[in-house]
């Protein structure tokens, strides 16, 4: 009992996209004593899907864990700040709301949404997002000042980044290679399995080289070269819940203000993203091929850009869902090889990061104990299920009457976990919590209230208060948030001063401090 572990001596990571290099960088950092060789195989012929580009605040923990300097990282990746997501036309055409990071109101202890609901019932027309410091700052195209990690606003303020995922992968590649990760270029043509237990023994490359390892990490994207093609782990298809199955993406020139938020605009057959970077804007239309052709979707996208397109539009196909098992034998799948959820809430990079975290919390030794594998699958798969529910809420709670996709989504059956959550919220305006939920009450509330899901009754502990007192209290909170937001600095100025990328400066006119509509 209690003997030293039989340490894994070699790891091979297959795939050099965001997932591959995030995994490689973590391996290099956490296995820094040189006892384990780390090899990443990527094929220059196979393109990477630039997943993400927009992130959620957990990305900061990932970068911090690697000791990455924020300004250096933003310079290297054309990065900008992100305070939330603006949803346009989701509730109905012409409507918009913000899902901000941070918490609404002024304190964690006194949740504000019940007071807001009550105040609204009394005729107060102030939007819910006006009680969010993050949303208020974001609408001003500002970011919190650099004093302290979050501008001294504590949990009221939260931020993430927009960045070029290709540049991020390149940045992490430099990080990894500097710490001993070996990079091989090659195409895998065969996967050799051990006869007795089906574990992966080695990978055969097209040029004849054979690469063996004890632990294999599959970051090969949708195809799942190891986890699916070799190990047949199985896939749970969620298309009936999230019917979009393609995306067309194109970058364009920036014009106008540098908005510190992602924008998602609902369209007839899906939705369009807008992600502002320092040097360009990333755009894409996520759509359902049953309702629109690739050409029509591309035309819609090109007709709705801020500036001139900077590349040929590229169409991607996907099947929303996840593998039944993402740690199978001596192989762990991370990123798109594990599953796909459309980037409506910018969770692709987060899912990569969470799988890496779970893997390193349960890092195996050569025994490959089934207990660790089961625990990893339980935890990592639950992350997908939870985010699926949150993304589905956006589709389910719509009142659009313009297109069949929206009617389908409004009427589609939903998972029990989401149905119960909605029923509870409709009953009393309360947000329930399951263990290990990523999205907490502030996130759910932003979308529920933003998409006008109204509870039947309010919390009696709030509604019992005198309306005049409540009105005064709400005005006071609103005024405080307005005042605090004034200390924020224009987003573009902040980037210029602290983390402007070198050569390729953003083209287009500067429009500092202006608000977008």
Partner 1 sequence: MAEFPLRNIVVVGGGTTGWLAAATLARVIGASCPIRLITRASDVVDGARNGATASVPSLHRMLRLLRIDETALMRATAATFRLGAMFRDWTAVGDHYFNGFGAFGARLDAVPFQHHWLRHVAAGGSEGFEEYSMAAHLARLDRFAIPQSDPRSVLSLYSYAWHFDSGLLVDFLRLYALQAGVKEITDEIAAVTLDPADGSVRELVLAGGNRVEGDLFIDCSGAHAVLSSALGMTNEDWSPWLPCDRMQTLRTDPEDRLPPYSEAIADTAGWRSSIPLQNCAVRSQVYCSEFTDDDAIAAKLTASARASSSRDPYLQRLVRGRPKEFWTRNCLLLPGESIDPLDGTALHLAQSGITRFLAHFPVGKSSPTDVAEYNRLTAGEYDRLRDHLVLHYHATRRADSPFWNRCREMTLPETLRHKLALFADSGRITVTEEDHCGVDSWLFVLLGQGLLPRSYDPLVEAMPLATARRAFAGISHEMRTRAATLPTHRDFLRQRGASTL
Which residues of the shown chain bind partner 1 in the complex (CB under 8 A)?
1-8, 30-33, 35, 65, 118, 360-365, 367, 369, 371-372, 375, 379, 420, 423-424, 427-430, 432, 435-436, 456-461, 463-467
**Integer Cα distance of 347 and 328 in angstroms:** 23
Least distance (Å) between residue 146 CB and partner 1: 24
Least distance (Å) between residue 370 CB and partner 1: 9
Least distance (Å) between residue 30 CB and partner 1: 6
Nearer CB in complex with partner 1: 237/423: 423
C-alpha dihedral over 148, 152, 154, 157, to 10 degrees?
-90
Nearer CB in complex with partner 1: 411/466: 466
Strands (E) in 28-91, as ranges, are 37-42, 80-82, 84-88
Is 396 one of the catalytic residues?
no
Catalytic residue among 82, 187, 232, 396: 82
**What is the rounded end-to-end Cα distance, in angstroms, of the chain?**
65
Sign of CA dihedral 99, 100, 101, 104: negative
Burial (Cβ within 10 Å: 0-12, 13-18, ≥19) of residue 195: exposed
Nearer CB in complex with partner 1: 69/374: 374
Least distance (Å) between residue 110 CB and partner 1: 13
Nearer CB in complex with partner 1: 7/223: 7
Angle between helices 70-77 and 165-178 (to 10 degrees): 120
Nearer CB in complex with partner 1: 335/458: 458
Least distance (Å) between residue 369 CB and partner 1: 5
Least distance (Å) between residue 167 CB and partner 1: 26
**Integer Cα distance of 334 and 173 in angstroms:** 17
Contacts 24+ apart (CB under 8 A), 108-114: 108/155, 111/441, 112/477, 113/429, 113/441, 113/445, 113/449, 114/429, 114/458, 114/459, 114/461, 114/462, 114/463
Nearer CB in complex with partner 1: 147/432: 432
Q: Which residue from 117, 108, 110, 109 is spatially nearest to 157, judged by alpha carbons?
A: 108
Catalytic residues: 82
């Amino acid at each position: 009992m209690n003997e030293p572990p039989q340490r894994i001596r070699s790891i091979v990571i297959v795939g050099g996209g965001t997932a591959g290099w995030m995994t490689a960088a973590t391996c290099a950092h956490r296995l820094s004593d040189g006892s384990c060789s780390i090899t990443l195989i990527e094929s220059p012929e196979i393109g990477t899907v630039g997943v993400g580009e927009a992130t959620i605040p957990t990305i900061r923990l990932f970068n911090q864990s690697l000791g990455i300097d924020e300004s250096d990282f933003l310079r290297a990746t054309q990065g900008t700040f992100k305070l939330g997501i603006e949803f346009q036309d989701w509730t109905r055409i012409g409507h918009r709301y913000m899902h901000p990071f941070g918490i609404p109101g002024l304190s964690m202890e006194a949740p504000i949404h019940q007071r807001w609901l009550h105040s609204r019932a009394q005729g107060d027309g102030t939007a819910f997002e006006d009680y969010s410091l993050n949303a208020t700052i974001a609408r001003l195209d500002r970011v919190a000042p650099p004093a302290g990690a979050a501008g001294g606003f504590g949990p009221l303020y939260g931020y993430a980044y927009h960045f070029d995922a290709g540049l991020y992968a390149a940045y992490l590649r430099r990080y990894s290679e500097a710490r001993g990760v070996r990079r091989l270029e090659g195409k895998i043509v065969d996967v050799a399995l051990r006869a007795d237990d089906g574990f992966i023994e080695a990978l055969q490359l097209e040029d004849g080289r054979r690469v063996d390892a004890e632990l294999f990490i599959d970051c090969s994207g949708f195809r799942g070269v190891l986890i699916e093609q070799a190990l047949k782990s199985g896939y749970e298809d969620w298309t009936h819940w999230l019917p979009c199955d393609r995306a067309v993406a194109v970058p364009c020139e920036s014009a106008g203000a540098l908005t510190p938020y992602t924008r998602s605009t609902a369209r007839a057959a899906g939705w369009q993203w807008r992600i502002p970077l320092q040097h360009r804007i990333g755009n894409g239309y996520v759509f359902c091929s049953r309702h629109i052709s690739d050409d029509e979707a591309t035309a819609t996208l090109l007709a709705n850009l801020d500036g001139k397109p900077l590349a040929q539009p590229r169409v991607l196909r996907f099947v929303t869902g996840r593998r039944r098992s993402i740690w199978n034998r001596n192989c762990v799948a991370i990123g798109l090889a594990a599953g796909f959820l459309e980037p409506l809430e910018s969770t692709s990079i987060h899912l990569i990061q969470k799988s890496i975290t779970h893997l390193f919390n349960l890092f195996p030794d050569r025994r490959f104990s089934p207990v660790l594998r089961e625990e990893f699958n339980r935890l990592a798969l639950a992350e997908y299920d939870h985010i699926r529910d949150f993304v589905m809420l956006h589709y389910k709670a719509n009142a659009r009457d313009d297109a069949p996709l929206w009617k389908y989504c409004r009427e589609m059956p939903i998972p029990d976990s989401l149905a119960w959550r909605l029923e509870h919220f409709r009953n009393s305006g309360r947000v329930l919590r399951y263990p290990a939920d990523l999205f907490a009450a502030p996130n759910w509330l932003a979308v529920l209230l933003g998409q006008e899901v109204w509870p039947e009754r309010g919390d009696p502990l709030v509604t019992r208060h005198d309306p005049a007192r409540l009105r005064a209290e709400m005005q006071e909170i609103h005024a405080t948030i307005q005042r605090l937001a004034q200390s924020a600095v224009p987003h573009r100025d902040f980037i210029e001063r602290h983390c402007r990328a070198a050569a390729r400066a953003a083209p287009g006119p500067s429009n500092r401090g202006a608000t977008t509509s």
